[in-house]
Structure 1
Amino acid sequence: MPVKPFQIKMEPQAHERLKKRAKQLGVTIGEMIQNLLASFELRMKDAHKILEANDRIDVSGMDSIEVDTALMKLLLTKDQRDLTGKEFEEEQIRVLSSLRKDEWKPEVKFGDMSDYKPYFTKE
């Protein structure tokens, strides 16, 4: 696949840091960005594994784009706030629970109770 040039807007300090880190690794800035994205994608994959293994978080029926967006924000928040694994898991539960959009609402209905005989009786 041919390599295409792209321009990315960023703060000058971020660009300088990116250039410095790329030089340290002996790669171009583009290769550095690709590596950072690959690393982030692997972290997303790990976050999905955590979701699948955690029975406290049910994402079935949720929009996968919404879940991925929430996970990306959570990963960046985890980095910024230096969350522990447990704190990250609790944050996942909190955020993803807010995304649940259950259509079914439970409703209790009683039928004809005229022939009801209680199981327990007072003696």
Structure 2
Amino acid sequence: MDPPLPTAVAQGLFLSQYRVENVRILQAFGPGALTVSPRVGHLHITVDDLPWTWADASDNNTVDIGGFPPGEHKVKIDLVDANHEVLNGQSVTHTFTVPPMPAKTGMGQVHMHK
């Protein structure tokens, strides 16, 4: 997994590319999928140690998350099997800081006239 792109982080976005070997990322879940060959799995993604995680089985080789406010953040990505168990310690955590957003300019004040 690559570190997030700095230009994206500056805009409150987490964009990171990944590559897996010997595992196909598929929407195949449960004990029956554990016997599929080649092995199948998906990603579990957790943001800022929140108590919930989401699964990504899209196999587009990129994790894209938007809307991070300024400050320090953490994204944990686990490669898991069809039974949601982490494969051979395949977990990465990226910590990054979104800088303060510059004040918006160019609009000025709006005046209404009758």
TM range (shorter): under 0.3
TM-score (norm 2): 0.24
More helix by share: 1
TM-score (norm 1): 0.23
| Greater C-alpha Rg | 1
More strand by share: 2
